[in-house]
Structure 1
């Protein structure tokens, strides 16, 4: 298969949108379920999904002359989310078993700092693609405005989360998830007709 910007962008958008669905599934189903099996399966799925924008985003940042900074933000967001999920998979269990409860809280706070950072980067990318969409017709402009607003809200709320911690998990997480969904939609919409 020959690499094209359009094809790679659609793959990244699909991975981001599937990650959004996975996070909604986690909040609505997994977080209310006993046991670790479903949680670990969900996190392993997210790990695989975040690997795609982390790797493909680097290539697209170099190849796509129209959106290099947005693709760089997507690559960084993917990498940070990948590390955050890895902390949950590899560190939460041992940290919970530590004699000092502060050990788990330290790991948890670190994971959520990265969670906020990753969502903020996707929010910034949504702003970038949203600005690009403003050059199109009425539908493109509407999507662009939605991307800019959702991305801005995610960036601000996630910055507050990075500064202040767990009190911002729900508003920042919701805003970041919405911005990621808008980002996926904007990637597909702004890339129509792009072949190389």
Structure 2
């Protein structure tokens, strides 16, 4: 397999768009039904996608023109692998513990990592958004502006959530998901290497 920065960036972008789809699927289909099999399948798919994000972003951190952006994306990927792993491996046994605080502690830890991953993707969206605003293509500039704004919102809401828990979990998660989508779109439509 031949590595090219553009190919790796596109692989990351498509994997991130797939995670956006799994998040929407989870909220629309899995959460309302609380189907254990669908939940496990969705989280396993997310674990695989975030693993790809991490693996493909890591070399970009050292070889691209925007190493801090790709370092941030790599960190978001690995943090999300850990938080999804907590859901897959720890939620079940923690729910069965005699002390209900055990499950609450594991859940809070997983959500701290969830918020951290969303904040990192927000930060990456801010970075690529700023670069895209400077491009000549109007479409790219508009997507860049939206990436910047959604990324800034994701950073603020998810930093708040890391410090304060799950008070605004849906707003923080949605902001991070939107920022992730705009980050991926910039990578796919932007002419310059991110």
TM-score tier after normalising by the smaller chain length: over 0.9
Q: Does 1:146 align with 2:150?
A: no
What is aligned with 1:157?
A: 157
Deviation at 1:193, TM superposition (A): 6.4
Q: Does 1:52 align with 2:52?
A: yes
What is aligned with 1:87?
A: 86
Figure out how many residues of one structure are paired with residues of the other and give that number: 192
What is aligned with 1:71?
A: 70
Task: Could you list the structure 1 runs, at least 4 aligned residues long, displaced by more than 3 angstroms after superposition.
Answer: none
- Equivalent position SS for 2:35: coil
Deviation at 1:55, TM superposition (A): 1.3
- Equivalent position SS for 1:42: helix
What is aligned with 1:124?
A: 123
Deviation at 1:56, TM superposition (A): 1.2
The separation in 2 between residues aligned to 1:193 and 1:133, in whole angstroms, is 9
What is aligned with 2:171?
A: 171
- Equivalent position SS for 2:168: helix
What is aligned with 1:30?
A: 30
The separation in 2 between residues aligned to 1:97 and 1:134, in whole angstroms, is 51
TM-score by length of 1: 0.95
The separation in 1 between residues aligned to 2:189 and 2:62, in whole angstroms, is 20
Deviation at 1:51, TM superposition (A): 0.4
TM-superposition CA deviations, 1:74-109 (whole Å, max 9, x none)? 000001011000000000000000000000000000
The separation in 1 between residues aligned to 2:37 and 2:141, in whole angstroms, is 43
Q: Does 1:107 align with 2:106?
A: yes
Give the gaps of 5 or more residues in structure 1.
none
TM-superposition CA deviations, 1:22-58 (whole Å, max 9, x none)? 0000001000124311100000000000001111111
Deviation at 1:189, TM superposition (A): 2.1
Q: Does 1:14 align with 2:5?
A: no
Give the gaps of 5 or more residues in structure 2.
none
Change (3 A) 1:193 1:141: closer
- Equivalent position SS for 1:167: coil
Q: Which moved more, 1:21-30 or 1:31-40?
A: 31-40
The separation in 1 between residues aligned to 2:69 and 2:31, in whole angstroms, is 32
Q: Which moved more, 1:116-125 or 1:141-150?
A: 141-150
TM-score by length of 2: 0.96
